[in-house]
Amino acid sequence: MNNDSDERTQPPSLPTRFLEWYCAADQFEHIPGDLAELHAQRLHKNGKRSADLHYYWDVIRFFRPSAVRSRRDQKQRTFAGSASLFASYAGLAVRKFNRQKGYVALNIAGLAVGFACCIVISLYVQKEKSFDSFHSQSEDIVRAFTSNPRGNVPSYFTNIPEAYGEYVLESVPEVENMTKTMPGTEFGSVTLVKNEDEAFFESGLLVVDPNFFALFDFELIDVNPETALSAPYTCVLTPALARKYFGTEDVVGKTLTIDIWDEARDFEITGLVKPPPANSHIQFSALLSYASYLRAKSGTYLTDARDSWFRTGPDTYLLLKRGSNWREVDSKISQVIEDRFERWGVAKVVDNWNFHLQPLEDIQLGALHLGDLGWPITSVGDLDSLNMFSLIALFILLIACVNYMNLATARGSARALEVGVRKVTGARRGQIATQFLLEAVLLAVVAYLVSLVLVAIALPLFDNAAGAPITLGAWMSSSVTKWMFAAALIVGLLAGSYPALVLSAFRPSSVLKGGFTGMSGSEWLRKSLVVGQFVCGIVLIISTLVISNQLKFAQTKKLGFDQQNVISIQLHSASIRQESTLLRDEFEKATGVDIASLASVLPTQNPVILWVVPEGIEPTSMPKTQALYVDSQYADALGLTIKDGRWFDDRFPSDVDGFVINEAAVDLFNLEQPIGSVLDNLWEKRKGPVLGVVEDFHSESLHHEIKPLVIRLHSHMAPRYLILRLAAGNVSATLTGLEDVWKRTGRSEPFIFNFLDENLDALYRSERQMSNLFGLFSGLGIFISCLGLFGLAAYTAQQRTKEIGVRKTLGATVASIVTLLSREFLLLVLVAILLAFPIAYFGMQDWLSEFAYRKEIGVATLLIPGVLALMIAALTVSGQAIKAALTNPVECLRSE
Amino acid sequence: MKRVHLGEFEELVLLVVAVLQGDAYSVAIRNEIQDNVGRKAHISAVHTALTRLESKGYIDSDMGDATATRGGRRKRIYTITRDGKSVLCFSREQRESIWNRVPKVVWG
């Protein structure tokens, strides 16, 4: 009567499941059995409904301590509790690794390279982000800057008026202290420093006032910071610089002759200063007293209370009272400065000249790229590219993880048998999952150790590529390595979790019966993972190509002047500058020199700013322009094209007041008839006619648009560079000749020159670094992806050995089998290529928009990386496929 | 002899185990108590008593055979041990001696 159907006679399944869950291991047999028997009795006597209800009640009643498994018991069931089990798993893992060396090596190599990339990039990012945070008061220090919102691009200056610091300190209560610093070099070049016998060029001089040490944590060695730099013409040196000049660190009381502010003066050394850490935006090799600067400039505009407000001056840092909000102080300062100007009746000037603050810690990576037009203080880091690098690090780690998962799941069906046997002999699901996880974590840890070795090898190379020295000691002690270890464990767990969950769920009966063909669901997953990997890799390659194309474009673009065969010699001291015309004439006579010319700055440097407006125009409506001071030879030396009018001519003394302007300036001034129009030079308070118009030429990197430029004769400003156009031919002989001329004219300083085209190259330093790094990382990304692909292909070929054997006996050619095996993978790569194109295109379009002049992304730029990736993938896969196709079918088929 | 501590229900179960002799598993014991002693006993209560008796060493258990009605699961067959027998005897003698000392008047 109760055998009509199994369903009807069985006890209900829900309480049974509950019972099986809580039931202790040693009672697992008889309690469920007893309950089932009772159920059957009641079914017989009272019918199903009553029996089922009783069954529910029985199960609930059995939920009592004697039947419920203990905690110790529980642990053993779900988790491989005891230490000996773990040891056994570890042993198993090692044995398995030993047996599958190739597969393990692939895995470890992929993960290790991924980790190493991540560590190196994190170290770099950490270094950049820690900039300037080592000062104890760093959170309360701000730097002042001015902005000029007129013109196409707002320009920022950190060199602000001399009087600003004192005035703000006096009138804004939140400002507790301030200090002024100033590069000890003009126009970002070098300064001549002499001891008794020798002269060197130094670029690391910084002029600071005694407050410098009150704000910043830079340390003097055995000197009182309040007095060390209080007197004029005193300085402190870093130990390295002291040794360079005197061979000893015992230099207090000695003097150095420093050629600065148009005169050579003796500076007394009052002490030593510890060198600044690498992550400081303030860098120096020697500090000169600010009093020296004030003394040198005494009697000029500096001492005029009103005039000094209209000239650029030092970088000024303010120390705010603890807890004050710098944004509030910012607006307060704007207010008090407006008051100041109003009292002078020049409020209009302020409308277009704003004073602002910037927190110290934001200087390196802040949104404002300072030093754009002012005196560059230090190379300002680039938050965007930093974020990009972090993203790449993540990408590569992801690719490596995906690799691991891919290889592990692919081998899953091979291991299914193992799982089946283990389950039959009593392993529980939790134990098998634990075993897989343990294997994955073990692999990850080994990969981590390997990656440390890789990092140690790669760091010096990376330094070259990134231009950011990271010492070995720094990274060993850095928290990055510890974090990466934690990351390695997490990666191990994550990468192992998929195989652990999927493989441990196999039903032993279906696995052992045979005919188990792997997991169809996971195959889909595996394919999308491969596609994801290749998308990352191809995007990286395209990016590299776009960047290097843009660089090539920048190097070959017609800049409006001829940069080949031009050298520049800096006129670094006042005494040379006085003889500049003489020197120029001497050099022009030397063999191999076509033209010699004088100029205030090189085309690669930031020009000075001048306030020039057409006569009769309201001055405040015009932005300031860039200005260049040159001689009559300049246009010929650089090969500028005169569009209209003429260049300066020595035969007309009145040219001194004249201007030559570029086309951008013609547009800015809105001159219909430029030649002969009169320009009013507001700062020099002189007027003069426009003599000629030159074709626009690039005086800055291609990031910037060509700005309005006015050119004047150098009699208004002593030239700082001698520019020589050399005749093509034997350049080295010419250079030797030039050095002789240099010595003959009685110069004791070293003869130092630069090729202009090399200077131009230097403008793209950060882009070149980026291109190098992208090249490196995209290579690695593709390498790791290919490791994965290689593993997958090898595995597939192995799985289909029998199929291949049968096909071959039936007459398939090697070519057809290779196609069969490769097609699937190459399709995946094709899909990846299609996905990568739009991502890379829009991403790089964004990057290119930073350049005012750019090389657009062509079809080739997109196609070449795609084809490349396809070819690499084809090579990787077909190697395996050919190997499989060439095996003698007898060998594949006899294995059964 | 160890300190004898046998609950009333435990004693009953122990007796039934002795009665069923070789066929004593929890469902049979419960049926016996319910049908022949006329006392309601829940299977889990029987089970708890068996567990306690076993831990006190009065019964032993072994896995028996499975039947279809049990869903293919085996029975746990309990047998009385020497200690079990002596504790039953002891308890019976104890009662007997007390019985004997009850004055006849009580039954009057």
Please judge whether A37 and B48 are an interchain contact, meaning their C-beta atoms are less than 8 angstroms apart: no
Structure-token match 């007129």, residue found: A150
Q: Is A232 left (phi over 0), alpha (psi -120 to 50) or beta?
A: beta
| Residue A36 Cα, gap to closest chain B Cα (Å) | 5
Structure-token match 């090596």, residue found: A105
Structure-token match 């790449």, residue found: A392
C-alpha closest to that of A661 among A680, A685, A642: A642
Please judge whether A58 and B70 are an interchain contact, meaning their C-beta atoms are less than 8 angstroms apart: no
Chain A residues within an 8 Å CB radius of B66: 33
For residue A695, count other CB atoms closer than 10 A to its CB. Answer: 14
SS3 (DSSP) at A320: strand
Q: By the CB < 8 Å criterion, does A44 face chain B?
A: no
pLDDT tens digits, residue range A631-680? 888 888 888 888 888 888 888 888 888 888 888 888 888 888 888 888 88
User: Which residue in B has a C-alpha nearest to residue A16's C-alpha?
Assistant: B71
Please judge whether A37 and B63 are an interchain contact, meaning their C-beta atoms are less than 8 angstroms apart: no
Chain A residues within an 8 Å CB radius of B51: 66
Q: Which of A23, A30, A55, A68 to mutate to test the interface with B (most CBs of B within 10 A)?
A: A30
User: Which residue in B has a C-alpha nearest to residue A37's C-alpha?
Assistant: B70
Q: What is the CA radius of gyration of chain B?
A: 16
Q: In the prediction, which pLDDT does A4 show?
A: 42
SS3 (DSSP) at A147: strand
> So what's the ipTM on this one?
0.85
Nearest to A36 among B42, B48, B73 (CB): B73
pLDDT tens digits, residue range A356-402? 788 777 776 654 544 343 333 334 456 666 777 787 788 788 878 77
Contacts of B97 (CB under 8 A, 6+ apart): none
Residue A53, H or E segment = helix A48-62
SS3 (DSSP) at A870: helix
Cβ-defined contacts of A368-373 (< 8 Å, 24+): A368/A145, A368/A156, A369/A156, A370/A145, A370/A156, A370/A158, A371/A156, A371/A158, A372/A155, A372/A156, A373/A155, A373/A156, A373/A157, A373/A606, A373/A609
First to last CA, chain A: 50
Chain A residues within an 8 Å CB radius of B69: 36-37, 40-41
Nearest to B27 among A37, A62, A67 (CB): A37
| Residue B78 Cα, gap to closest chain A Cα (Å) | 12
Burial of B83 (0-12, 13-18, 19+ CB in 10 A): middle
pLDDT tens digits, residue range A714-724? 776 778 888 88
Contacts of A599 (CB under 8 A, 6+ apart): A628, A629, A630, A631, A634, A714, A719, A720, A721, A723
Amino acid at A104: V
Please judge whether A31 and B47 are an interchain contact, meaning their C-beta atoms are less than 8 angstroms apart: yes
What is d(CA A236, CA A256) in angstroms, rounded to the nearest whole number?
11
Q: Which tokens is A241 given?
A: 């610089």
Helices assigned H by DSSP within A305-380: 326-344, 347-351
Q: What is the pTM of this model?
A: 0.60
What is d(CA A147, CA A352) in angstroms, rounded to the nearest whole number?
8
Structure-token match 């005919």, residue found: A515
Q: By the CB < 8 Å criterion, does A12 face chain B?
A: no
Q: By the CB < 8 Å criterion, does A812 face chain B?
A: no
For residue B43, count other CB atoms closer than 10 A to its CB. Answer: 22
Helices assigned H by DSSP within A63-100: 71-78, 83-99
Please judge whether A32 and B76 are an interchain contact, meaning their C-beta atoms are less than 8 angstroms apart: no
User: Which residue in B has a C-alpha nearest to residue A41's C-alpha?
Assistant: B69
Q: Tens place of pLDDT for every residue, chain B, 108 residues?
A: 455 678 888 889 999 999 888 888 888 999 889 888 888 888 888 988 888 888 888 898 888 887 777 877 888 899 999 988 988 898 888 889 998 888 888 876
Counted across chains A and B, CB pairs separated by less than 8 A come out at 63
DSSP result, A478-493: SHHHHHHHHHHHHHHH
Nearest to B69 among A31, A40, A64 (CB): A40
Q: In the prediction, which pLDDT does A78 show?
A: 43
- Dihedral sign, CA of A329, A333, A334, A339? positive
Please judge whether B76 and A67 are an interchain contact, meaning their C-beta atoms are less than 8 angstroms apart: no
Structure-token match 């020697």, residue found: A286
For residue A94, count other CB atoms closer than 10 A to its CB. Answer: 12
Q: In the prediction, which pLDDT does B3 show?
A: 55
Q: In the prediction, which pLDDT does B17 show?
A: 92
Contacts of B96 (CB under 8 A, 6+ apart): none
Contact between residue A691 and residue A660 where contact means Cβ atoms under 8 Å apart: yes
Q: Which tokens is A760 given?
A: 């131009």
Low-confidence ranges of chain A (pLDDT < 70): 1-8, 69-85, 148-156, 185-196, 299-307, 346-353, 364-385, 409-414, 461-479, 510-523, 574, 606, 620, 716, 766, 892, 894-896
Q: Is A132 left (phi over 0), alpha (psi -120 to 50) or beta?
A: left
Nearest to A66 among B42, B51, B76 (CB): B51
Please judge whether A64 and B69 are an interchain contact, meaning their C-beta atoms are less than 8 angstroms apart: no
Find the farthest-apart pair of alpha carbons in chain A and give their distance in angstroms, rounded.
132
What is d(CA A723, CA A714) in angstroms, rounded to the nearest whole number?
13
Q: By the CB < 8 Å criterion, does B62 face chain A?
A: no
For residue A798, count other CB atoms closer than 10 A to its CB. Answer: 13
| Residue A64 Cα, gap to closest chain B Cα (Å) | 9
Contact between residue A628 and residue A600 where contact means Cβ atoms under 8 Å apart: yes
Please judge whether A30 and B76 are an interchain contact, meaning their C-beta atoms are less than 8 angstroms apart: yes
What is d(CA A553, CA A765) in angstroms, rounded to the nearest whole number?
14
Q: By the CB < 8 Å criterion, does B79 face chain A?
A: no
**Which chain A residues in 99-158 lie under 8 Å from chain B, judged by CB atoms?**
none
